[in-house]
Amino acid sequence: MEEILKKEFRCRKVWSCGGQCQGGGISSGSVFSLDGQKVFVKRNPAPGSRALFDGECASLEILRETKIIRVPKPIKVFSHGDKTAFVMEYLMLSSVRNFACLGEKLAKIHLYNKNLKDNATRNESFIGRASEYVDRFGFHTTTCCGFIPLTNEWKDDWLTFYASNRLKPQIDRAIETYQDRGVLSLWPEIERVLPKLFPSDLNITPALLHGDFWEGNVGEVNNEPCMYDPACSYGHSEYDLGLAHFFRAFPPEFHDTYHSFIPKKPGFEKRLKVYLLFNAFNNWNHFGSVYQDLCISLMHEISNF
């Protein structure tokens, strides 16, 4: 890898700064020095990994534009042979200790687009950048949650986007892979219930989402919260909380601070189950049938709302 990086960045000296580490179980990662500058290099040999890293790079760029929270500065995505590499700023990370601050930062990211709308002097949107208000749901490029590509085609309505671009593809994938008749029979019931959970007076403003927000994708740098491995899109702010609740890793001070900026709206707990359903199916499609019972259980619960 040293010679590849030397050629790609036209460096005189490149050396490895340590052993291999895993990038969330999907990609491998290593730290290198490029003429004295430390960088973090993620690699993946799988087909489609170019889209994975291009989407992550675009997501980091848009989060950096908000200037709300520290994220690694993306440097370059490139292919070498049958592998793809993503080079980014190296950050000396530690575990999160100030969860209240993390909750505040996430809330401010979710409010960023709304604040642009409120402060706008004109009513145009320039889709794809965080500096202009975005009035639809989606993203300007493909992103991946794990190794599964997400459909980010723009929609005017959040429920349409979530059902067709997030939930249905995961369910279709599970049905195709596992031939589970329970999922097949329960999906029409989920479709029937969803409109009741997203009434028109919910008034969802597109929020910039991290898209894969859980304890494994956050840390601290110099006592300040940091996030990484994003799969951004513009969607419902509650969506990011689904994965946070899925692993139940964030303490009350995180949630209390977050909701002091974005209070819970009626139906929040039920909608959270719907967002948990996406994450349960995403894990089933990544890691196998250990998540099957959870998916079926959630579908039964939601169908009875």
User: Which of 12, 65, 5 has the alpha carbon at shortest distance from 40?
Assistant: 5
Cα angle 20-99-54, degrees, rounded to a multiple of 5: 45
* CA-based torsion, 116, 150, 39, 95: positive or negative: positive
Concerning whether 212 is annotated as a catalytic residue, the answer is yes
- Name the phi and psi angles at 137, rounded to 5: -110, 125
Annotated active-site residue in 54, 118, 201, 212: 212
Burial of 209 (0-12, 13-18, 19+ CB in 10 A): buried
**Pairing outcome for strands 83-89 and 74-80:** antiparallel
Could you identify the residue written with the tokens 């999907």?
26
Residues paired with residue 28 on neighbouring β-strands, in sequence order: 22, 43
State the sign of the Cα–Cα–Cα–Cα dihedral 59, 238, 235, 109: negative
Which amino acid belongs to residue 221? V
Task: Quote the distance between the C-alpha of residue 93 and its chain's center.
Answer: 19
Both ends of the chain: CA-CA distance in Å? Answer: 53
CA 170 to chain CA mean position, Å: 15
Nearest to 70 by CA among 97, 43, 89, 42: 89
Element (H, E) at 274: helix 268-287
Sequence length of the chain is: 305
Q: Where are the alpha helices (DSSP H) in 82-206?
A: 99-119, 158-161, 168-178, 181-197
Residues annotated as part of the active site: 212
